[in-house]
Amino acid sequence: MRPLHPQRLRVATRGTTREINRRIALNLIRTNQPISRADLARLMGTRRGAVSLLVNELIQDGVVFEGATGEAKRGRKPTFLYIDSRKRCVVAVDIRPTRTFVMVTDLMGRQLASVASFPTEHDPKRFVAGLVKRLKHTLVEHKDFGRCQGVGVAVPGMVDSEAGRVLLAPNLGWRDVNLRDPIATALALPVQIENSGKACALAQLWATRDAEAPSNFVYVTVSDGLGVGVVIGGELVRGQHNIAGEFGHVPLNIDGPRCGCGASGCWEAYVSNLATLSRYFGRDLRERPLSADVAAFTIDDLIARARGGDGKALTALLSTARYLGLGLGSVVNAIDPSHLYIGGEITAAWDLIEATVRAGLAERALTPPAGTTPITIVPPEQYPRLRGAAALVAAPSFAEGVVA
């Protein structure tokens, strides 16, 4: 039972029911398109005439359009409904410690152009100036995609999404950075920012078109750092200060290696790409200077060496896999999700590390069923961070209102 919060209650009006039905219709069209009015009425459990009035309103508002005509055994052929993402686009930005990526999508999160990237400048002011310049160029270059509805930004750190500030991004060296407002002012567009782990979870939630898909899951993204997003009851868990789910900074061992956040033994310090590469080279790669060949060496290079018979490379990967599994065990014990999603470059070696990851999970989980929680890999080629950043702009239009 959901508790009532008197300070949040609002008096319902005649338009409340209509707005709820509008959101229901939008979500059903989005997840089932192409769909006929008759099928939409069936899914909504209401009369076709009532649905037609609602659909006509959505068409008039430019949110939905009627497209192809379907086949019918008898009677009039149905005209299918679609979310109208024509001539409207979203720009998604994924900031990482080494490179920043930019992608243009439609309102459904479908990629419209090649992903662009550039080295990440760690000085916040210079970074914003460079990003704005590139985004302006992107908008001009792709003006044929239509009017930009906004910019979504995924950040590897803790953010205040309402204020648009990066509270702490250890691997960038950013603390209390006003990221949203300078970009929004320069572009004259709405800008939304979010933690990269939460963005990945939102991307997974947004991509769901199957009614049987899990509504309670945890998304873990392993890259330069370690991001975690938690979804319970179909909603992204944020917590009081939007830092819920920061399992990457829960220690596996308080006497373990130093983490970028300043603490010791964090889960991130054992499983990030940097941790894996440091394990391979036998030194902390955060310590400078580095030789050119070491500095240019990536996790993809390490995986290639492991596949080529380099025992040291395989050992480094398997060590990371064990720590990843142990950390997942703690996540499962705390959240008890029905599903785990894992993203990041290390997933390219999943066939090499899966057994070790699952063994670590089973070892740490409190019950046998928890130790067999299903795991699905999300390849980097699906751009979960960028898709999540795009969803920051598009998803609110489809959000369901909360009714006590």
pLDDT at residue 1, rounded to an integer: 44
What are the domain boundaries of the chain?
A: 6-83, 88-202+387-398, 208-382
| CATH number of this structure's domain 88-202+387-398, picked from the four choices 3.30.420.40, 2.40.420.20, 3.30.1330.60, 3.40.50.620 | 3.30.420.40
Q: In this structure, is the dihedral angle defined by the CA atoms of residues 143, 146, 147 and 152, taken in order, positive or negative?
A: negative
**Closest C-alpha among 192, 205, 118, 133 to residue 161:** 192
CATH 1.10.1740.10 correct for 208-382 = no
pLDDT at residue 58, rounded to an integer: 82
SS3 214: coil
Please tell me if the domain spanning 88-202+387-398 has the same topology as the one spanning 208-382: yes
| CATH number of this structure's domain 6-83, picked from the four choices 3.40.1350.10, 1.10.10.10, 3.40.50.2000, 3.40.50.360 | 1.10.10.10
Task: Give average pLDDT by consecutive 10-residue segment, the chain, 404 residues.
Answer: 52 66 80 83 83 83 75 65 84 95 91 94 96 96 92 95 93 94 97 95 80 84 95 91 91 91 94 96 85 89 97 97 98 97 96 98 97 96 94 75 45
Q: In this structure, what token pair is assigned to residue 249?
A: 């900074």
CB 112 within 8 A of CB 142: yes
pLDDT at residue 404, rounded to an integer: 44
The verdict on pTM exceeding 0.75 is yes
Can you tell me which residue has the tokens 């919060």? 5
Residue-wise pLDDT for 248-278, tens only, equals: 999 999 999 999 888 999 999 999 999 999 9
DSSP conformation class of 111: B
